[in-house]
Chains A and B, each alone.
Chain A
Amino acid sequence: NAGVTQTPKFQVLKTGQSMTLQCAQDMNHEYMSWYRQDPGMGLRLIHYSVGAGITDQGEVPNGYNVSRSTTEDFPLRLLSAAPSQTSVYFCASSYSRSSYEQYFGPGTRLTVT
C-alpha cells in the first residue's frame, strides 16, 4: 500500500492564481481531511469528508473548495491564491471520523507571492 499520497510536494503561486492540491489514499478509508500547518499554530482543519459525495467545512475553510467523487481521491482547490495561504498542507485519512488513528500524507509546501 502507498498509504496517503499528495502532489505536488512544492508549489509557488502568484496572488490570484488558482490550483488544485491532489490527495489520494489506497486504504479504502471513508474519512479524509485537509489541514494546514503554520509555525506556532498547529494543524488546523480546512475541510473534511466522511465518504464519497459528502464534504463539510472545518475550522478555516475560506478560500478553499473540496469535492469527493470517489473514496480514494480528495482534491483541495485554491480558488484565488492569497499570500495568507502560504503554508504546508497535509491530507489525512482514517477508517471513519471516530477512528483514533489518522494517516497523514507527506505534505505540500505552498508559497504564494
Chain B
Amino acid sequence: EDQVTQSPEALRLQEGESSSLNCSYTVSGLRGLFWYRQDPGKGPEFLFTLYSAGEEKEKERLKATLTKKESFLHITAPKPEDSATYLCAVQAMSGGSARQLTFGSGTQLTVLP
C-alpha cells in the first residue's frame, strides 16, 4: 500500500526565514511525486512533478528535491503570500498502468510579516 507522510503538520516562519517541508513516501514503482499548494477555501493548485531521485525543480522561492525515500520543498526567503497548505502526492505504476494519486495530509505554512 502506498503511503505518504508529511512533516511538520504546521510551520510558522518570519518573513525571510528559509525552511524546508518534508514528504516521506513508501511506494512500489514510483512514477511521479507531486507538490500542490492549497489556499484556504480553494482547491489544490499544481506546483511540481518529480520523476526520479536526484531531480530538482524550482519556481520563484520554492525548490523541490527528491530522494528514493523522501522529497523536500525548500522555501527561500518566504513572503506572507507563500502562506498556504502544501500537499505532497505520489503516483505508482502497476502492471504498466499509472495508479491513482495517494496524498499526504499536508503542511500548513504561515509566514508572518
Contact = CB atoms under 8 A, between A and B. Distances in A.
A102 B105 contact: no
Contacts of B100: 33, 45, 48, 58-59, 97
B98 A97 contact: yes
Interface residues of B, number: 22
B103 interface: yes
A42 to B, nearest CB: 4
Given A48-B100, A58-B100, A101 B46 contact: yes
Interface string A90-113: 101000011011111111000000
B101 A42 contact: no
Contact of A102 (B101, B104, B106): B101
17 contacts: A33-B100, A35-B103, A40-B105, A42-B104, A43-B87, A43-B89, A43-B101, A90-B43, A92-B43, A97-B97, A100-B32, A100-B34, A100-B49, A101-B49, A104-B44, A105-B43, A106-B42
A43 B103 contact: yes
B58 interface: no
B22 to A, nearest CB: 15
A41 interface: yes
Interface residues of A, number: 24
| Most-contacted residue by chain B among A59, A97, A105 (CB, 10 A) | A97
Contact of B103 (A4, A42, A103): A42
B54 interface: no
Contacts of A98: 31, 97-98
Chain B CB within 10 Å, residue with most, of A35, A58, A105:
A35
A33 B100 CA distance: 10
